[in-house]
Amino acid sequence: MIKRALISVSDKTGIVEFAKALDSKGIEIISTGGTAKALSDAGINVINVSDVTRFPECLDGRVKTLHPKIHAGILAMRSNPEHMKQLDELGVETIDLVVINLYPFKQTILKENIQLEEAIENIDIGGPTMLRAAAKNYQDVAVIVDPADYSVVLEELEQSGEISLKTKFKLAYKVFEHTSHYDTLIANYLRDKLDEKVFPQTLSLTFEKVQDMRYGENPHQKAVFYKEVGSCTGSITAAKQLHGKELSYNNINDANGALELLKEFDEPTVVAVKHANPCGVASAENIYEAYIKAYEADPVSIFGGIIAANREIDARTAEEINKIFVEIVIAPSYTKEALEILSQKKNIRILELENISSKVSKDTYDMKKVVGGLLVQEYNDKLIDIDNIEYVTDKKPSAAELEDLVFAMKVVKHTKSNGIVVAKGKQTLGVGPGQTNRIMAAKIAIEYAGERSKGAVMASDAFFPFPDCVEAAAKAGITAIVQPGGSIKDKESIEACNKHGIAMIFTGMRHFKH
């Protein structure tokens, strides 16, 4: 039976109505500070917590509920005669319902130019302590941390005059989920304030649900989408959907890959992605020309793919996009005419991402879940140290070839390994992704390029273990190659390049993507 409730909330959404319902049932309400005033002003009978503890709030409100008369009333097990005897001897009354939500730490640290001192003051102490105490004693105490649960509790009280054990257990679970999230936000915020950027001894991560998905990678798999707390500028989680049905699991995964590749470029660029691999990438003087080049790079694979552009989509570009079926278009903005044109198709998802070119923070973790564990590494924000590339062949690449080599390396960096990219004129001509041997990746890229490979360049995400890729490149008419180098058979690849008059440079930097 609920006889006594303690209410202390920062988020006062719905609290007056909830407290009125409790008051109407004769439930005694204890409260603190601003909550007590809000309830009292609404005509609700409230007992101030200091009248219960016989101790005033102090230290600017830092100490209000940290008192045995509060915590003993929450933690006492009603089925334990010794507990109840001690309460009687100490003059402590039980508390049957605890309604708490915490200081707004997340909202505080998300504000611009927040000072450490203000963030620290918004770390709640008494709230989590009461929540955890009530949740631990869930058999006897109902605890609410989420305003959405007010109606659930009231409905049960109306129906049976009691809150079911099943509901109490679920509410207790939500408390520990909430306090874990809260503590992780604090720990991560403080870690970011440290000068040394090291991997922590224990890694706690916290995410907030964005949506339940219709299904995962395949229709028989359930899935959900979570986002990181904090600034996600330039990421898929920050995109605004302007048109189309809900994004799928694969849509989000592919769109993320498209955005990561797009961020490598400053000039007008279009990236087309299919099944997490780039299938057409091009840069040009304007976004229309970039799209035409990206489409022509592989007009077959782009069908049903994702298009990401780093400039506003105009009407003529939209008209070209509408000639084929694509799942998603992502751009920083759209002209009114372009949006009208694209919206004519029911199934296309149109996403607007204002800061689409924002670089990924150097502090971002790259994570991969494995069964029973988590692989964590620094985000790969490197490409080529142009001042330290090694010219290893007799022939040196021309200025135009060097420009294309850098372009191709940007693309192959974001291609599943083993990966090979053939490009020319800042346009991919062939992408060979995700093969178990490098020569097969080279053959696929060259086959896609066809006759266009004559005079093109080739990029490899890792070294050539044998000179066979050079031989294939020479046969296709490729004139320059970029690769990390580092194979024990580098000399054979260099000799093959010299034999066929191909320029080759070593970057000393591998870009595996698994």
Q: Given this model, what pLDDT does residue 497 score? A: 98
Beta strands in 54-169 (DSSP E): 97-101, 142-144
Length of the chain: 514
CA 448 → CA 47, 301, 404, 430, distances in Å? 77, 10, 17, 5
Distance of CA 22 to the CA centre of its chain: 40
Q: Given this model, what pLDDT does residue 103 score? A: 87
Q: Given this model, what pLDDT does residue 1 score? A: 80
- Among 149, 176, 193, the domain boundary falls at 193
Lowest-confidence region among 76-85, 226-235, 500-509: 226-235
The mean per-residue pLDDT over the stretch 395-421 comes to: 97
Query: How far is 236 from 238, CA to CA, in rounded Å?
Result: 5
Higher model confidence: residue 350 or residue 23?
350
Residues 291 and 331 in one domain: yes
One-letter identity of residue 460: S
Q: Given this model, what pLDDT does residue 229 score? A: 87
Mean pLDDT of the chain: 93
- The H or E element spanning position 8 is strand 4-9
What CATH number did the domain enclosing 402 receive?
3.40.140.20
Residue 402 has pLDDT above 90, yes or no: yes
Whether 52 maps to a domain, the answer reads yes
Residues 179 and 242 in one domain: no
Q: Given this model, what pLDDT does residue 67 score? A: 86
Residues 11 and 78 in one domain: yes
Residues 107 and 154 in one domain: yes
What CATH number did the domain enclosing 65 receive?
3.40.50.1380
Residues 177 and 229 in one domain: no
Residues 429 and 331 in one domain: no
Q: Are 105 and 117 in contact (CB under 8 A)?
A: no
Q: Is 136 designated active site?
A: yes
Lowest-confidence region among 21-25, 337-341, 469-473: 21-25
Query: How far is 350 from 241, CA to CA, in rounded Å?
Result: 6
Residue 436 has pLDDT above 90, yes or no: yes
DSSP structure string for 243-290: ESSPPPHHHHHHHHHHHHHHTT--SSEEEEEETTEEEEEEE-SSHHHH
Query: How far is 98 from 268, CA to CA, in rounded Å?
Result: 57
How confident is residue 32, by pLDDT bands cut at 50, 70 and 90?
confident
How confident is residue 354, by pLDDT bands cut at 50, 70 and 90?
very high
The mean per-residue pLDDT over the stretch 400-406 comes to: 97
pTM: 0.86
Residues 337 and 455 in one domain: no
Whether 373 maps to a domain, the answer reads no
Whether 376 maps to a domain, the answer reads no
One-letter identity of residue 492: E
- Taking Cα atoms as reference points, which of 321, 496, 475, 83 lies closest to residue 483? 496
**How many folded domains does the chain comprise?**
3
Taking residue 160's Cβ as centre, other Cβ atoms within 10 Å add up to: 9
The mean per-residue pLDDT over the stretch 231-240 comes to: 89
- Among 329, 352, 375, the domain boundary falls at 352
Whether 501 maps to a domain, the answer reads yes
Whether 374 maps to a domain, the answer reads no
Query: How far is 267 from 317, CA to CA, in rounded Å?
Result: 17
Both tokens of residue 300?
Answer: 């077959």
In terms of average pLDDT, the best of 100-109, 156-165, 399-408 is 399-408
Residue 225 has pLDDT above 80, yes or no: yes
Whether 208 maps to a domain, the answer reads no
Residues 451 and 334 in one domain: no
Query: How far is 180 from 173, CA to CA, in rounded Å?
Result: 11
The mean per-residue pLDDT over the stretch 419-433 comes to: 98
Residues 346 and 227 in one domain: yes
Higher model confidence: residue 442 or residue 127?
442
Residues 307 and 424 in one domain: no
- Taking Cα atoms as reference points, which of 424, 425, 402 lies closest to residue 477? 424
SS (H, E, C) 337-405: HHHHHHCCCCCCEEEECCCCCCCCCCCCEEEEEECCEEEEEECCCCCCCHHHCEECCCCCCCHHHHHHH
- Among 158, 193, 228, the domain boundary falls at 193
- Taking Cα atoms as reference points, which of 479, 509, 510 lies closest to residue 404? 479
Q: Are 319 and 339 in contact (CB under 8 A)?
A: no
Residue 112 has pLDDT above 90, yes or no: no
Q: Given this model, what pLDDT does residue 479 score? A: 98
Instruction: Single out the catalytic residue among 12, 275, 395, 500.
Output: 275
Identify the DSSP state of 26.
Answer: T
Residues 148 and 11 in one domain: yes
Domain hosting residue 458, numbered range: 386-506
The mean per-residue pLDDT over the stretch 77-102 comes to: 90
Residue 122 has pLDDT above 80, yes or no: yes
Residue 363 has pLDDT above 80, yes or no: no
Whether 393 maps to a domain, the answer reads yes
Whether 367 maps to a domain, the answer reads no
Instruction: Single out the catalytic residue among 12, 136, 181, 395.
Output: 136
Residues 501 and 421 in one domain: yes
